Amino acid sequence: MGDSLTYKIIRAHLASGEMTPGAEIGLRIDQTLTQDATGTMTYLQFEAMDLPRVKTDLSVSYVDHNMLQTDFRNADDHRYLQSVAAKYGILFSRPGNGICHQVHLERFGKPGATLLGADSHTPTSGGLGSLAIGAGGLDVAIAMAGAPFYVPMPRVVRVLLTGKLSPWVSAKDVILEMLRRLTVKGGVGKVIEYTGPGVACLSVPERASITNMGAELGATSSIFPSDDVTREYLAAQGRVEDWQPLAADPDATYDETVEIDLGALVPLMAAPFSPDAVHPVAELAGTPVQQVCIGSCTNSSIRDLETVAAMLRGKTVAPDVSLTINPGSKQVLTTVARSGALGDLIAAGARVMDPGCGPCIGMGQAPASGAVSVRSFNRNFKGRSGTDDAQVYLAGTETCAACALTGVITDPRDLGAAPVTETPASFQADDNMIVRPPADGAEIEIVRGPNIQPLPTRGPLEGEIAGEVLLVTGDNITTDHIMPAGAQILPLRSNIPAMSDFCFQRVDPTFPERARQAGGGILVGGENYGQGSSREHAALVPMYLGVEAVIVKSFARIHKANLVNVGILPLEFADAADYDRLAQGDRLRIVGVREALREGQPLTVTNETQGYAFQATYDLSARQVDAVLAGGVLNLIKAQA
């Protein structure tokens, strides 16, 4: 029996553990990436490890999320990141160079390499055959220190692609179809591996749109083989030497198979407020649209912008629509500027902005009250756009441009013949906005503005956890619910005390005050708790507010790892029915915690308010138990040193 591509790359990077699905493995990491919103915490943690230099083959620090610079804080963060990069041997991608995932795909992603990124959409580089995984900042800091990354050995899903996309149907529709079938928790614990004859019809940026949004399935990663199409892409990037052919063995075995006939797909769209609320565009057609946003790490490639330009050429954006465009990178922007497509976009009335995340993370361009916004992005969680009651839909670039032209949700197939765009044979590959570190950074001073506050810490886990249930949430709670982003809060990413005022702001604005009054407590949630962003702030801030345990029906992977990393105990209901009995304000007590964790025994949780007890379990490796007992991974590392 042969290996899947996922198994081949894992086998080549296995540092510890058995390749049994669900069991913890240690993976050697070749490359890391960070972005500014998660980067400051990551590097504060790397600094705490007291090493002279990173030990990876390549580490890149990108600035792409927060570039509004409404005051000194944001610019201070950029300066801090640039100085840290120079000191520790990290490449620094300057603001304006583009979205981390797009730039990494263009300039650094490598078939067969492992990439760990402090951002959930890191699997974008899976589009060229890299095993790319998103993680919390501390895990990335540890990888930069040369230690393995620990993750449950994934199950591997084979997606067999057959046929060929019809005109007006794009790669985005492939991943929306996956979300329609598997839902936002369908990928948890799995790597999604794309195979089959349909693969060859997809370009690398199209493959990357698909692997990017595998994050919305909750998947550990998504990956395409490295073939002639990959070779051509890398050659056009002037780095054909990074290419190697890679694919699953012909007799590879998989845990699951999903079949998609590309030819049978139609333009799809995710309705508010979840990326898996997928419908054919035709079903939603006619709804008036007030905003269209094109960009984000999912759909901001040269192909995307050339397609929009071809559709808009000589026309004008509908009078009630504001169309914004964020190119994915400087390379994309320069290419469309030189080809003339940029002129077509501007002439048609598009508002062209910085290459960066922009409206995707609520950094400007918040829609009007109750407005319908159609976006080529990957997340439409309530309030993420900056407007609580905005109705955000997710679609491919073709559908977005069609809506911008007509002012209503429009199936692009109603517009006649699809535009034909040409991919340039070589790209504007210029790394002049990447600052390379000096050979020796010992003399470099790290520059810290007043917004960069020290990391909060906690002591070891006590033998007894007692406290009140601070909040009971439903299923699929995202890290955007726990720790929102946006223009008001992102500048505080290096300042946990200041961020804590916004914890669970959109779920219950009284939460931070109540948590402080109660001196901490316990959180309760449903299925897939903590899906979405990798931001470790969603664990650090509750820890700072005194949360000691989170009890849920199930966790999303990255958030659970982040809880362990900061020393919050992640527990699961042994019987999901117990979730229904708990109420906010109930006092819970768990005794003998340390012994039970050491022996791998379930915990008994006594509800003192209602007078009953229930069982809670946990799925933690021995390493994770040690981390929780120590009060977090940094405490553990210090103790071991």
Binding at 296: pick from ligand SF4, ligand MIC, none (beta carbon under 5-8 Å per type) = ligand SF4
Q: Report the distance separating Cα 489 and Cα 482, nearest Å.
A: 12
CB of 361 to ligand MIC, least distance (A): 5
Binding to ligand SF4 (CB under 6 A) within 97-126 occurs at: 99, 119, 121
- Return the number of the residue (9 or 357) whose C-beta is nearest ligand SF4: 357
CB of 562 to ligand SF4, least distance (A): 16
CB of 559 to ligand SF4, least distance (A): 15
Neighbours of 626 (CB within 10 A): 18
The 45-74 site mask, x for binding ligand SF4 (CB under 6 A), equals --------------------x---------
Paired sense of beta strands 278-280 and 291-294, if any: unpaired
CB of 298 to ligand MIC, least distance (A): 10
The answer to whether residues 320 and 292 touch, using CB atoms and an 8 Å cutoff, is: no
DSSP string, 494-562: T-HHHHGGGTTTTT-TTHHHHHHHHTSEEEE--TTBTBS---THHHHHHHHTTEEEEEES-B-HHHHHH
CB of 99 to ligand SF4, least distance (A): 5
The angle that helices 137-144 and 557-566 make with each other, rounded to 10 degrees, is 70
By CB under 6 A, residue 297 contacts ligand SF4 = yes
- Return the number of the residue (217 or 461) whose C-beta is nearest ligand MIC: 217
CB of 535 to ligand MIC, least distance (A): 3
Q: Report the distance separating Cα 515 and Cα 640, nearest Å.
A: 32
The answer to whether residues 260 and 162 touch, using CB atoms and an 8 Å cutoff, is: yes
- Return the number of the residue (275 or 632) whose C-beta is nearest ligand SF4: 275
- State whether the Cα torsion 491-495-496-498 is positive or negative: negative
CB of 378 to ligand SF4, least distance (A): 5
Q: What is the spatial order of strands in the sheet that 91-93 belongs to? A: 131-134, 114-117, 31-35, 58-62, 91-93, 434-435
Q: Which entry of 30, 76, 119, 480 is annotated as an active-site residue?
A: 119
- Return the number of the residue (156 or 293) whose C-beta is nearest ligand SF4: 293
- State whether the Cα torsion 279-282-287-288 is positive or negative: positive
Q: Which entry of 30, 36, 64, 344 is annotated as an active-site residue?
A: 64
The answer to whether residues 551 and 573 touch, using CB atoms and an 8 Å cutoff, is: yes
Annotated catalytic residue 139: no
Q: Report the distance separating Cα 187 and Cα 321, nearest Å.
A: 35
How many residues touch ligand SF4 (CB under 6 A)? 10
CB of 543 to ligand SF4, least distance (A): 23
Calculate the alpha carbon distances from 597 to 65, 602, 621 in Å: 39, 8, 10
By CB under 6 A, residue 305 contacts ligand SF4 = no
Binding to ligand SF4 (CB under 6 A) within 350-409 occurs at: 357, 360-361, 378
- State whether the Cα torsion 440-125-427-336 is positive or negative: negative
Q: Report the distance separating Cα 641 and Cα 323, nearest Å.
A: 54
CB of 400 to ligand MIC, least distance (A): 18
Token digits for 372?
Answer: 């319908």
DSSP string, 305-320: HHHHHHHHTT----TT
Binding at 38: pick from ligand SF4, ligand MIC, none (beta carbon under 5-8 Å per type) = ligand MIC
Annotated catalytic residue 261: no
Three-state SS for 454?
A: coil
Q: Which entry of 4, 59, 61, 65 is annotated as an active-site residue?
A: 65
Percent of the chain that is helix, strand, coil (3-state, to 5): 35, 20, 45
Q: Report the distance separating Cα 290 and Cα 268, nearest Å.
A: 19
Q: Report the distance separating Cα 462 and Cα 238, nearest Å.
A: 56
Binding at 99: pick from ligand SF4, ligand MIC, none (beta carbon under 5-8 Å per type) = ligand SF4
Binding at 469: pick from ligand SF4, ligand MIC, none (beta carbon under 5-8 Å per type) = none
Q: Report the distance separating Cα 32 and Cα 114, nearest Å.
A: 8
CA atoms within 13 A on the CB side of 271: 11
Annotated catalytic residue 79: no
Q: Which entry of 375, 379, 481, 537 is annotated as an active-site residue?
A: 379
> What residues line the site for ligand MIC (CB under 6 A)?
37-38, 65, 119-121, 134, 361, 485, 533-535
Calculated CA dihedral for residues 622, 560, 177, 212, nearest 10 degrees: -90
Q: Which entry of 301, 533, 534, 554 is annotated as an active-site residue?
A: 533
- Return the number of the residue (65 or 231) whose C-beta is nearest ligand MIC: 65
Residue spans of beta strands (DSSP E) within 214-290: 221-223, 256-261, 268-270, 278-280
Binding at 565: pick from ligand MIC, ligand SF4, none (beta carbon under 5-8 Å per type) = none
CB of 195 to ligand MIC, least distance (A): 26
Annotated catalytic residue 578: no
Q: Which entry of 180, 535, 537, 557 is annotated as an active-site residue?
A: 535
- Return the number of the residue (99 or 625) whose C-beta is nearest ligand SF4: 99
DSSP string, 391-414: EEEEE-HHHHHHHHHHSB---GGG
Binding at 252: pick from ligand MIC, ligand SF4, none (beta carbon under 5-8 Å per type) = none
Binding to ligand SF4 (CB under 6 A) within 121-150 occurs at: 121
What is the helix (H) or strand (E) element at residue 598, kind and residue range?
helix 593-599
Annotated catalytic residue 533: yes
- Return the number of the residue (121 or 413) whose C-beta is nearest ligand MIC: 121
By CB under 6 A, residue 524 contacts ligand SF4 = no
Annotated catalytic residue 535: yes
Q: Mind telling me the catalytic residues?
A: 64-65, 119, 379, 533, 535
Interacting residues toward ligand SF4 by CB under 6 A: 65, 99, 119, 121, 296-297, 357, 360-361, 378
